[in-house]
A and B are shown apart, each in its own frame.
Chain A
């Protein structure tokens, strides 16, 4: 984990992960939409200790831009060893549940585009026989809840995709990590009801960096208590689960 490509470098969790990777002296290649924000991050992460910070401006939600992203990566950091996918979108579920456009948009960004770009990076790492792919999904992807199933189904789909990818890339020695955070205090969750307990993004980032450094786990729950919570939630029979206002 010395040369890391971050897809979605301006997302709340990525910001904290990048600070911690910079402190370790990593090479970073940041991809995000806003050139202005990327420029601010470049200087900041350089001063925080990153060996080198490269930046590429692209809309990752648009599959048509993906080959350009891979071309930039191959041209500037061809020996990258880690890809971390952090971008995502979470619509207001009340809106999303009734709007076909909102449902399609969420699935398109969080699932379709993510699966598409990881397919490109997977081929590159498989050819070089090594490295690591890590992507942020969500505990919301484990069961469809009435309050968040559009986002949940996109993230759940991505989790399944990563599971298959992990198995496929295992013989090539490429590691695939599914990162499942609980709700984290970032811009994405500012509008959630205050009753939701939000995790500190620095702590979540520390868990992610540790997972990237080590050989395990395949599936990271962060904060770790979510592994336990989800184990219980998975046990609830569907006939009961559908009645719960979760």
Chain B
């Protein structure tokens, strides 16, 4: 009812701005204001009041670097806009507001027999964020990216109001918004094509491997028979990549009840020395040994299979108060030599951290203008932030990525150079006409130099 602050219903013009950090907790930027509308009818006022280039939609802050930040300017937190607006039971198309989390979406629709067409490795992201970063998952080889399952969305722009974008109307704006990093306007609602599943269980297999070649053979061999494939590699092993290959399919006809788990919370940022080359090396060796030991087939819940880290709340705090950087790149498959060189540099640095994740992307052309996935091998790896040492190490990785014709993932990035962005996303100039004049982000200003 009269729920809102006196006089200025919903404008949420933040007098005091709470600190907003991205998932990597680096960089730590100050924001001038944080708007938190609870209803779509409040959005036009926020857009109207904003100065040119001053706003950026924000979801659950799971982007690792600065693509979800807008240092010195304003954020439009969409997480309270989390309503499901419609659902078509015959086609499985759900229409929802942009702030709905994938966890909620699954919670609502899995009991009805529907699941996400594509899911990233955490369910704690919003639908808007999944579209804006055109996220991918373990089924990229057969399903493409999240944006490929968004046939229609409504975009609220500061210059032209509410535009419904689909294949018939404003198809180019749809392509710009998918993977558009929130820069084309605020997504008011989106349609997502869910897919039918029998239940919450996944039949999975884990297979240890001891070389990149074996990984690729496993991946090629599994792509046709398994909907989901991914691998974990020990980043200390260098070119003789050892790791565990995981593959799985939705279990058919199993309606056995499933109770979601609630895990522990990391209470505070522990001292930085806790994560050191020795402790991490020991963790990785143990992880490998455990999984190599219990290799074989099994069944686990979708949560354990897709979102293992979601059960530890605020796990990003484990990297200490300086935060961490995630390095995720893709390298074309024919440049295996470059990939091995990258693994070698990672191992030599001795700075890598838990769980390097390795995945073979499929050939599907991306639905977004600025989408990251392209055919090749992608690896994602966390590095505790240790200042210039970490940054220069990453620059040495960048050389390999650039020479191989690869690219970095904006959602994970906090430091790539404008030059690298230019060569790996040359289409960004074609994207510029679709920018909403009132939107900008720290990432965008950093890589393009535009105000």
Contact = CB atoms under 8 A, between A and B. Distances in A.
Contacts of A60: 1
Contacts of A182: none
Nearest to A40: B83
Which interface class (under 10, 10 to 19, 20 to 34, 35 or more) fits A?
A: 35 or more
B83 A187 contact: no
Contacts of B12: 187, 190-191
Interface stretch (B35-43, B132-140, B325-333, B348-356): B35-43
A184 to B, nearest CB: 11
Interface stretch (B13-21, B63-71, B360-368, B375-383): B13-21
Central interface residue in B5, B14, B39, by most chain A CB within 10 Å:
B5
A95 B16 contact: no
Classify the secondary structure of B's interface with A: loop
Contacts of B39: 10, 34, 37, 40
B252 interface: no
A43 B86 contact: yes
A102 to B, nearest CB: 7
Given A187-B80, A193-B16, 20 more contacts: A10-B1, A10-B3, A11-B3, A34-B41, A37-B39, A40-B39, A43-B84, A43-B86, A44-B83, A48-B84, A48-B108, A61-B1, A88-B3, A92-B6, A109-B2, A187-B4, A187-B36, A190-B12, A191-B16, A194-B19
A47 interface: yes
A194 B17 contact: yes
B342 to A, nearest CB: 41
Central interface residue in B14, B16, B111, by most chain A CB within 10 Å:
B16
16 contacts: A12-B38, A15-B38, A34-B41, A40-B40, A40-B83, A43-B83, A43-B85, A44-B85, A87-B3, A88-B1, A187-B38, A188-B5, A190-B5, A191-B5, A192-B16, A194-B19
A163 interface: no
B425 interface: no
Contacts of B40: 40
A2 to B, nearest CB: 19
A7 B270 CA distance: 44
Interface in B77-96: 80, 83-87
A43 B84 CA distance: 7
B384 interface: no
B10 interface: yes
A7 B1 CA distance: 8
A37 B85 CA distance: 11
Given A36-B41, A44-B84, A90 B5 contact: yes
A57 to B, nearest CB: 11
Contacts of B83: 40-41, 43-44
B191 to A, nearest CB: 14
Contacts of B111: 49
A37 B41 contact: yes
A32 interface: yes
A89 B6 contact: yes
A8 interface: yes
Contact of A188 (B3, B14, B19, B41): B3
Interface string A204-244: 00000000000000000000000000000000000000000
Contacts of B84: 43-44, 47-48
Central interface residue in A7, A43, A102, by most chain B CB within 10 Å:
A43
A91 interface: yes
Contact of A102 (B5, B6, B87): B6
A194 B38 contact: no
A82 B84 CA distance: 25
Contacts of A34: 39, 41
Contacts of B1: 7-11, 32-33, 59-61, 86-89
Nearest to A109: B2
A26 to B, nearest CB: 15
B5 A187 contact: yes
Interface in A58-99: 59-61, 86-92, 95-96
Contacts of A40: 39-40, 83, 85
Contacts of A91: 6
Nearest to A189: B5
B16 A194 contact: yes
Nearest to B111: A49
A66 to B, nearest CB: 13
A61 B38 contact: no
Central interface residue in A15, A40, A102, by most chain B CB within 10 Å:
A40
B5 A186 contact: no
A34 B10 CA distance: 13
7 A-B pairs closest in CB distance: A87-B1, A11-B3, A89-B2, A8-B1, A44-B83, A91-B6, A194-B16
Nearest to A188: B3
A89 B86 CA distance: 31
Contacts of B80: 187
A96 B6 CA distance: 10
Contacts of B5: 90, 92, 187-188, 190-191
A10 B83 CA distance: 12
B86 to A, nearest CB: 6
A157 B108 CA distance: 39
Interface in A1-30: 7-12, 15
A96 to B, nearest CB: 8
B3 A47 contact: no
A40 B100 CA distance: 14
Central interface residue in B40, B80, B83, B85, by most chain A CB within 10 Å:
B83
A33 B87 CA distance: 26
B18 A194 contact: yes
A88 B36 contact: no
A8 B2 CA distance: 8
Central interface residue in B13, B19, B80, by most chain A CB within 10 Å:
B80
B136 to A, nearest CB: 27
Contacts of A10: 1, 3, 38-39
A207 to B, nearest CB: 15
A109 B4 CA distance: 13
A88 B2 contact: yes
Contacts of B38: 10, 12, 15, 186-187
Central interface residue in A12, A15, A47, A48, by most chain B CB within 10 Å:
A47
